[in-house]
Amino acid sequence: MTPEPSSRSASVADAELHPLAPESHIMGMPQASPTWTAAQVRALPADGNRYELVDGELLVTPSPSWVHQITVAELFRLLDGYARPNAVGRVCLAPADISLAEDEVLQPDVFVVPAALKPRSWEDVRALLLVIEVLSPGTARYDRLVKRRRYQRAPVPEYWIVDLDARLVERWRPDDSRPEILSERIEWKVPHVDDALVIDLQAFFREVLG
């Protein structure tokens, strides 16, 4: 049986139990109060949705679209081609089960785990070099606010938000109050590596969007 949050106030939990109402499939249907635990979120059924617990809010994302997944795959290809030969770290994709602090569940679309960690389980992943979220309908507010603040606080050195509609990338660093808006190219430089990864964004968006 699906676990209940520790409070019985009306929430996503009630919709999940009886079952999820259609509107509850939209990212960012949070609890009325922060009463979910990571253990409860991990016990939710494997129903095709992505569940994340960020600062006490349960975020529910439906199965991604074709274009979203093509974008994620292309990002993985580009990043892995740089990270692997330069011993930067391991490029990974959601689904995941990351906790950078207690009582949270994070599942970024694309993320890079530092090579120094050499994790054997999700519990070993306690730092990230890069996090990327690809915007989907209904996720913008949570990618740009809730998740962005969490990753800045971690701190994750860079957090990218890929906006397919606008064909641009928003880059955030831990101390930024506003993102860097990039539409032509983006460079990712890791301190101990001489060369940077350079992505031609116009070519990238042509590849994934046609």
CA atoms of 178 and 127, how far apart (whole Å): 23
Count of residues making up the chain: 210
The overall average pLDDT reported for the chain is 87
Based on the fold, state whether residues 44 and 78 are members of the same structural domain.
Answer: no
End-to-end CA distance of the chain: 44
Q: What is the pLDDT of residues 29-52, one digit of tens each?
A: 444 445 799 999 999 999 989 899
Q: Which residue has the tokens 């679309």?
A: 109
CATH of the domain at 141: 3.90.1570.10
Question: Which DSSP helix (H) or strand (E) runs through 112?
Answer: strand 110-114
Based on the fold, state whether residues 112 and 145 are members of the same structural domain.
Answer: yes
Rounded mean pLDDT, 124-148:
95
Asked if the model's pLDDT at residue 25 lies above 70, the reply is no
Based on the fold, state whether residues 43 and 115 are members of the same structural domain.
Answer: no
Rounded mean pLDDT, 140-164:
97
Based on the fold, state whether residues 72 and 54 are members of the same structural domain.
Answer: no
Identify the domain containing residue 101 by its residue range.
66-209
Number of domains forming the structure of the chain: 2
Structure tokens at 47: 């129903």
Based on the fold, state whether residues 70 and 44 are members of the same structural domain.
Answer: no
**pLDDT score at 138:** 83
**pLDDT score at 56:** 87
* Of 159, 160, 141, 173, residue with least CA distance to 204: 160
CA atoms of 147 and 55, how far apart (whole Å): 9
Amino acid at 177: S
Asked if the model's pLDDT at residue 22 lies above 50, the reply is no
Banded pLDDT at 7 (limits 50, 70, 90): very low
**pLDDT score at 18:** 30
Structure tokens at 63: 């199965």
**pLDDT score at 35:** 79
Q: Considering the domain boundaries, does residue 136 fall inside one?
A: yes
Q: Considering the domain boundaries, does residue 3 fall inside one?
A: no
Structure tokens at 115: 């090579």
Q: What is the pLDDT of residues 82-127, one digit of tens each?
A: 999 999 999 999 999 999 998 999 999 999 999 999 999 999 999 9
Based on the fold, state whether residues 16 and 55 are members of the same structural domain.
Answer: yes
Q: What is the pLDDT of residues 157-202, one digit of tens each?
A: 999 999 999 999 999 999 999 999 999 999 999 999 999 999 999 9
Count CB atoms within 10 A of the CB of residue 148. 20
Question: Could you give the angle at which helices 66-83 and 201-209 cross, rounded to 10 degrees?
Answer: 140
Q: Considering the domain boundaries, does residue 1 fall inside one?
A: no
**pLDDT score at 91:** 98
Q: Considering the domain boundaries, does residue 131 fall inside one?
A: yes
Based on the fold, state whether residues 73 and 53 are members of the same structural domain.
Answer: no
Residue 11 phi/psi, 5° resolution?
A: -165, -175
CA atoms of 95 and 208, how far apart (whole Å): 21
